[in-house]
């Protein structure tokens, strides 16, 4: 019996007969030879069926296969310099598992709406497979970084009674007799967890009912949120630059084929090493004004501002100390200058914008209580969060990194939607 294996491991079986199981991605036929492009989720390989060397019925099956038919192929592994992974298979036998109907996604260009309607099939194409593989490897790199650096994973709830990032973008739902909201961020729970475990992180879906239709916004996206006791704003930024560099270098090492498949220029990613440049919000405003952007101190950046600021550098840049008034209620003000907060956004180069938002958190009870009033948030709903400032409050910081934006940047994608298997976007809930 030939060994069953997968395309990614085929190199171990040079000169031997193996069995692969997968789907027909593409086919070319000359009458005497059929070239089958087989994909199995781990890669693609060309399988060569030669009429003169095969029983008639086997060759006929090869000729009859339609795009996306599922099959089992047995053949001999040969070296082939032209192939992406260096090998091809000489077909000895083929078993048709399921013939495919006429496949709606042909190998030519389709419009994006058509592709999104067929997302359940679109993900079978090599480019989409490569993106999903890189996304998985990004999560793997994050998990490794956290485990090597003493973090514990804690999973905050999805259903929450309150908002974390402002009430205008909350998804409402009914929780029996109470109002509930889909989480915008697990941060407040992670702050509680940091007081229990020191260094913690979460990874999971978050929701924003934002009526934004941009290449950077999803309605449902994954956020990874580390939170650390006894860590101040400066150390928070140092951890972020190590973390992001670790992820990028891990993907470069483990996803060379996938990065090639998506056409990424990896020389840009190779620069992503600490330290990252830092600019204050004040410096950023001055730089923008000097470069003919009309923006006044106190205003938030738009996408064109972020793109221009980040374009000065060959790696992500921190913009720190934004005006307190335009940032979330929980951010620690600078003690020497309370009109700015001890926070930073990390902007990715090449127009990808903010991939991380982070800050030192207010640890003083009275100040936080005052903020709830200023932001008109019902203090009684946040009593448990205020409790964290009642019992051994300490300086602490954390950040949230958007998974799809990070993957979009690493892959060089036009739009974040391709970084999610089934993106939830404005007016798109299906499939
Ligand atoms: O800056 P944000 O809103 O920060 C927070 O939610 C903090 N509570 C995180 C924390 O400190 N624990 O969101 C963090 C990141 C952004 O930098 C961005 O990468 C991503 O989440 N993000 C989105 N990604 C896709 N679509 C959207 N609509 C996003 N909104 C935020
Ligand atoms: Mg933000």
pLDDT digits (tens, 9 = 90+) for 315-333: 999 999 999 999 999 999 9
Determine the average pLDDT of the residues in 131-141.
98
Which residue lies with its CA nearest to atom 17 of ligand 1?
Answer: 356
Any ligand 1 atom below 6 A from CB of 417? no
Phi-psi region of 252 (alpha: psi -120 to 50; beta: other; left: phi over 0): alpha
Q: Is the pLDDT of residue 85 over 90?
A: no
* Structure-block tokens of residue 244: 């992001």
Q: Name the CA radius of gyration of the chain, rounded.
A: 26
* Secondary structure class of 201 (helix, strand, coil): strand
Taking the whole predicted model, whether its pTM rises above 0.95 is answered as yes
Task: Report which secondary-structure segment, H or E, holds 133.
Answer: helix 126-148
Give the residue from 64, 63, 66, 49 showing the smallest Cα distance to 107: 66
ipTM comes to: 0.99
Which 8-state DSSP code applies to residue 28?
E
Which residue lies with its CA nearest to atom 4 of ligand 1?
Answer: 357
Q: Is the pLDDT of residue 107 over 90?
A: no
Q: How confident is the model at residue 59 (pLDDT cuts 50, 70, 90)?
A: very high
Question: Which residues have C-beta within 8 Å of that of residue 322, sequence separation ≥ 6?
Answer: 281, 300, 340, 341, 343, 345
CA of 229 to the centre of ligand 2 (A): 21
Any ligand 1 atom below 6 A from CB of 352? no
Which pLDDT score, from 0 to 100, does residue 212 have? 84
Q: Are 115 and 108 in contact (CB under 8 A)?
A: no
Q: Are 398 and 226 in contact (CB under 8 A)?
A: yes
**Dist. CA 417–CA 409, nearest whole Å:** 12
Determine the average pLDDT of the residues in 283-288.
98
* Structure-block tokens of residue 426: 């404005």
Residues 106-115: contacts with CB under 8 Å, at least 24 apart = 106/67, 107/26, 107/67
- DSSP for 77-102, written as a single string: EEE-TTSTTSEEEEEEEEEEEEPPPP
In the chain, the domains with their CATH numbers are: 3-98 (2.40.50.140), 119-419 (3.30.930.10)
Q: Are 237 and 278 in contact (CB under 8 A)?
A: yes
| β-pairing verdict for 70-79 and 172-175 | unpaired
Cα–Cα–Cα angle for 324, 346, 312, rounded to 5 degrees = 110
Determine the average pLDDT of the residues in 332-346.
98
Q: Is the pLDDT of residue 167 over 90?
A: no
Determine the average pLDDT of the residues in 18-43.
96
**Dist. CA 155–CA 206, nearest whole Å:** 12
Q: Is the pLDDT of residue 70 over 90?
A: yes
CA of 114 to the centre of ligand 1 (A): 29
What size, in residues, is the chain?
431
Determine the average pLDDT of the residues in 333-348.
98
Distances 351 to 61, 302, 395 between C-alpha atoms, Å: 49, 12, 33
Write down the residue that tokens 């950023």 correspond to: 284
Q: How confident is the model at residue 417 (pLDDT cuts 50, 70, 90)?
A: very high
Which pLDDT score, from 0 to 100, does residue 266 have? 97
Determine the average pLDDT of the residues in 113-126.
96
Q: How confident is the model at residue 407 (pLDDT cuts 50, 70, 90)?
A: very high
Determine the average pLDDT of the residues in 80-87.
89
CA of 87 to the centre of ligand 1 (A): 43
Measured from the CA of 402, which atom of ligand 1 is nearest? 19
Q: Which residues surround ligand 2, an ion (CB under 5 A)?
A: 357
Determine the average pLDDT of the residues in 345-367.
97
Any ligand 1 atom below 6 A from CB of 423? no
Which 8-state DSSP code applies to residue 276?
P
**Dist. CA 12–CA 391, nearest whole Å:** 59
Any ligand 1 atom below 6 A from CB of 356? yes
Distances 274 to 134, 237, 317, 429 between C-alpha atoms, Å: 22, 10, 11, 39
Mean pLDDT of the chain: 97
Q: Is the pLDDT of residue 83 over 90?
A: no
Instruction: Tell me the sheet residues that pair with 337.
Output: 334
More confident residue, 212 or 355: 355
Cα–Cα–Cα angle for 310, 313, 314, rounded to 5 degrees = 115
Question: Which residues have C-beta within 8 Å of that of residue 81, sequence separation ≥ 6?
Answer: none
Q: How confident is the model at residue 8 (pLDDT cuts 50, 70, 90)?
A: very high
pLDDT per position as a tens digit, 373-385: 999 999 899 999 9
Which 8-state DSSP code applies to residue 331?
B
Measured from the CA of 227, which atom of ligand 1 is nearest? 12
CA of 354 to the centre of ligand 2 (A): 7
Which pLDDT score, from 0 to 100, does residue 168 have? 85
CA of 367 to the centre of ligand 1 (A): 24
Question: Which residues have C-beta within 8 Å of that of residue 1, sequence separation ≥ 6?
Answer: none
Distance in Å from the first CA to the final CA of the chain: 41
Which pLDDT score, from 0 to 100, does residue 334 have? 98
Q: Are 26 and 37 in contact (CB under 8 A)?
A: yes
* Structure-block tokens of residue 14: 């040079």
CA of 357 to the centre of ligand 1 (A): 6
CA of 3 to the centre of ligand 1 (A): 47
Distances 24 to 7, 71, 73, 125 between C-alpha atoms, Å: 13, 7, 11, 11
Determine the average pLDDT of the residues in 388-402.
98
**Dist. CA 349–CA 296, nearest whole Å:** 23
Among 356, 357, 407, 418, the mutation site with the greatest number of ligand 1 atoms within 8 A of its Cβ is 357
Distances 63 to 105, 167, 376, 379 between C-alpha atoms, Å: 20, 59, 69, 70
**Dist. CA 383–CA 394, nearest whole Å:** 18
Which pLDDT score, from 0 to 100, does residue 394 have? 98
pLDDT per position as a tens digit, 216-245: 999 999 999 999 999 999 999 999 999 999
**Dist. CA 191–CA 361, nearest whole Å:** 9
Q: Is the pLDDT of residue 303 over 90?
A: yes
Measured from the CA of 416, which atom of ligand 1 is nearest? 25
């Amino acid at each position: 019996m030939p060994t069953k294996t997968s395309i990614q491991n085929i190199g171990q079986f040079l000169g031997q007969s193996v069995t692969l199981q997968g789907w027909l991605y593409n086919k070319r036929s000359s009458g005497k030879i059929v070239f089958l492009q087989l994909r199995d989720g781990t890669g693609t390989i060309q399988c060569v069926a030669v009429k003169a060397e095969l029983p008639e019925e086997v060759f006929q099956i090869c000729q009859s296969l339609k795009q996306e038919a599922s099959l089992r192929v047995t053949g001999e592994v040969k070296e082939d310099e032209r192939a992406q992974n260096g090998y091809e298979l000489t077909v000895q036998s083929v078993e048709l598992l399921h013939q495919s109907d006429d496949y709606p996604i042909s190998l030519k260009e389709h419009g994006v709406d058509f592709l999104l309607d067929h997302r359940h099939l679109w993900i079978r194409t090599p480019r989409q497979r490569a993106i999903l593989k890189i996304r998985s490897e990004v999560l793997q790199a994050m998990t490794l970084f956290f485990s090597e650096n003493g973090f514990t994973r804690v999973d905050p709830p999805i259903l929450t009674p309150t908002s974390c990032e402002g009430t205008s973008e909350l998804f409402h739902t009914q929780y029996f007799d109470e109002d509930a909201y889909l989480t915008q961020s697990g941060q407040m729970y992670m702050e509680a967890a940091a007081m229990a475990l020191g260094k913690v992180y979460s990874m999971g879906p978050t929701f924003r009912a934002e009526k934004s239709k941009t290449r950077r916004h999803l309605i449902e996206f994954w956020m990874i949120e580390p939170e650390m006791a006894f860590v101040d704003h400066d150390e928070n930024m140092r951890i972020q630059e190590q973390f992001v560099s670790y992820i990028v270098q891990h993907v470069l090492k483990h996803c060379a084929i996938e990065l090639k498949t998506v056409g990424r220029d990896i020389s840009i990613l190779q620069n992503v090493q600490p330290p990252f440049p830092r600019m204050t919000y004040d410096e950023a405003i001055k730089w923008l004004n000097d470069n003919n952007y009309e923006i006044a101190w106190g205003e938030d950046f738009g996408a064109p501002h972020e793109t221009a600021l980040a374009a000065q550098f060959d790696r992500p840049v921190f913009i720190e100390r934004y005006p307190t008034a335009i940032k979330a209620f929980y951010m620690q003000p600078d003690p020497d200058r309370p009109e700015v907060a001890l926070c930073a956004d990390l902007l990715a180069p090449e127009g990808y914008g903010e991939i991380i938002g982070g800050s030192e958190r207010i640890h003083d009870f009275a100040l936080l209580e005052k903020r709830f009033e200023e932001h008109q948030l019902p203090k009684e709903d946040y009593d448990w969060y205020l409790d964290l400032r009642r019992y051994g409050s300490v300086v602490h910081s954390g950040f949230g990194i958007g998974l799809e934006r990070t993957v979009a940047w690493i892959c060089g994608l036009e739009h974040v939607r391709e970084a999610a298997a089934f993106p939830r976007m404005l007016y798109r809930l299906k499939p």
